[in-house]
């Protein structure tokens, strides 16, 4: 039989996340509260649904536009940049893999935080790069430590999410800009802003594609409620964006996804409504946690991280007990932050079920 190359052969046959569907198969029943994947349980814009319906009737028999022209033009107007400064991909995950492939070499150092978004690490390992991690500090990514590691290791790439996944915490836009200034000019910063639409305006730096070593990534999976369609985008210098077109899957963002994203972007009223629903859900989750002796961390995302007050094993027991009671959640995995669980913003009946089951889960977890 043919054999995989040594790099691929050395990797574990696994995925960065265990999906709720697998757990449902193992449990033999669906979850009553799907609160683990940071999806938008409130749904997507009616305009996006109408656009998908029309595309399903009229256009899915055709190949999609490989240049993604209309969506890039809409994003350019939205951001106030040129369409040449935007790349659209099949979710941020797709763009992360491309970025590692394009802007680093085999064995090159790539810096991130220990316990940050695991799919990024998956791509770093898959392309044979060297991962360098620094610990969180006070439940936030340590900007000084990340900059120091980038300079020390001559890093090709630094990955930072702001607002942060999995903790929900955030830095101000001014702090992020100072962090950009502290990086070597030849080190690429991936600034993951997947939750940017749900954050305070002060958390986002001013848009400046003139920074030659910064690419910012955003998604339609969170606030816009299109996670199942897989649409993400990045923006930055046109010279960097041009490199993606040499290797990306030009038909990777399908017709239905392109039309839905354009309609979702235009529906500012729906986005405002979702933002209010997320805020209400964050307060509800925080209140549930507090009532049960857990400490909610401040959140600028569509989830709330709850400090369980002990260690990672205890938090894992709580997660498993909730799973057994029909509540799907996840938890941070890095050292020091693994004492927490993470609960996505859900519909009122989902949070009510979480509220009812949490005391039982805490008691069973000891």
CA distances, 225 to each of 217, 219, 231 (Å):
17, 10, 11
Give SS3 for 353: helix
- The CATH number given to whatever domain includes residue 61 is 3.40.640.10
Among residues 205, 231, 266, the one where a domain terminates is 266
Q: Show the domain range for 360.
A: 18-43+269-365
Question: Can you give the pLDDT of all 366 residues of the chain as single tens digits?
Answer: 999 999 999 999 888 888 999 999 999 999 999 999 999 999 999 999 999 999 999 999 999 999 999 999 999 999 999 999 999 999 999 999 999 999 999 999 999 999 999 999 999 999 999 999 999 999 999 999 999 999 999 999 999 999 999 999 999 999 999 999 999 999 999 999 999 999 999 999 999 999 999 999 999 999 999 999 999 999 999 999 999 999 999 999 999 999 999 999 999 999 999 999 999 999 999 999 999 999 999 999 999 999 999 999 999 999 999 999 999 999 999 999 999 999 999 999 999 999 999 999 999 999
Same domain membership, residue 210 and residue 70: yes
Q: What is the dihedral of CA 29, 231, 203, 75, to 10 degrees?
A: -150
- What interhelical angle do 46-58 and 255-266 show, nearest 10? 150
- The CATH number given to whatever domain includes residue 22 is 3.90.1150.10
Does residue 188 lie within any of the structural domains?
Answer: yes
Among residues 215, 238, 266, the one where a domain terminates is 266
| Cis peptide leading into residue 163 (ω within 30°) | yes
Does residue 1 lie within any of the structural domains?
Answer: no
22 Cβ neighbours under 8 A, 6+ residues apart: none
Same domain membership, residue 239 and residue 212: yes
Among residues 249, 266, 283, the one where a domain terminates is 266
Does residue 8 lie within any of the structural domains?
Answer: no
Q: Enter the pTM of the model.
A: 0.96
Does residue 5 lie within any of the structural domains?
Answer: no
Give SS3 for 133: strand
Same domain membership, residue 352 and residue 301: yes
Same domain membership, residue 278 and residue 241: no
**pLDDT for residue 15:** 81
**pLDDT for residue 17:** 84
How many domains in the chain?
2
Same domain membership, residue 181 and residue 79: yes
**pLDDT for residue 54:** 97
* Residue ranges in the chain assigned as alpha helix (H): 6-10, 20-27, 46-58, 69-79, 91-103, 118-126, 143-153, 173-182, 238-244, 255-266, 268-291, 312-324, 348-365
Same domain membership, residue 142 and residue 87: yes
Does residue 50 lie within any of the structural domains?
Answer: yes
**pLDDT for residue 18:** 87
Does residue 9 lie within any of the structural domains?
Answer: no
């Amino acid at each position: 039989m043919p054999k995989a190359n040594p790099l691929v052969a050395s990797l574990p046959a696994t995925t960065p996340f265990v999906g709720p569907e697998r757990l449902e198969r193992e449990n033999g029943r669906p979850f009553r509260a799907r609160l683990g994947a940071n999806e938008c349980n409130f749904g997507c814009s009616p305009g996006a649904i109408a656009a998908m319906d029309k595309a399903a009737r009229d256009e899915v028999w055709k190949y999609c536009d490989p240049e993604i022209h209309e969506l890039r033009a809409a994003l350019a107007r939205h951001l106030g940049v040129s369409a040449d400064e935007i790349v659209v991909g099949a979710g941020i995950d797709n763009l992360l893999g491309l970025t590692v492939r394009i802007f680093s070499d085999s064995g090159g150092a790539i810096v991130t935080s220990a316990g940050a978004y695991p799919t990024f690490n998956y791509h770093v390992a898959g392309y044979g790069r060297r991962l360098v991690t620094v610990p969180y500090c006070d439940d936030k990514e340590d900007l000084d430590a990340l900059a120091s590691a980038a300079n020390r290791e001559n890093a090709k790439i630094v990955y930072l999410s702001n607002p942060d996944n999995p903790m929900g915490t955030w830095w101000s836009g001014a702090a992020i800009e100072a962090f950009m200034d502290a990086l070597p000019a030849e080190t690429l910063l991936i600034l993951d802003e997947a939750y940017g639409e749900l954050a305070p305006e002060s958390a986002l730096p001013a848009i400046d594609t003139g920074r030659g070593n910064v690419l910012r990534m955003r998604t339609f999976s969170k606030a816009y409620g299109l996670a199942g369609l897989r649409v993400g985008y990045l923006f930055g210098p046109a010279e960097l964006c041009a490199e993606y077109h040499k290797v990306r899957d030009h038909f990777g963002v399908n017709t239905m996804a392109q039309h839905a994203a354009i309609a979702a972007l235009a529906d500012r009223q729906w986005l405002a409504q979702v933002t209010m629903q997320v805020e209400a859900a964050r307060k509800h989750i925080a209140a549930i946690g507090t009532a049960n002796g857990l400490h909610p961390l401040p959140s600028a995302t569509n989830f709330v991280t709850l400090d369980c007050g002990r260690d990672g094993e205890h938090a894992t027991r709580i997660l498993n007990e909730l799973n057994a009671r029909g509540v799907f959640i996840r938890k941070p995995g890095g050292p020091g932050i693994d004492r927490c669980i993470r609960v996505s913003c859900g519909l009122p009946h989902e949070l009510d079920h979480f509220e009812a089951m949490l005391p039982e889960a805490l008691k069973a977890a000891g």
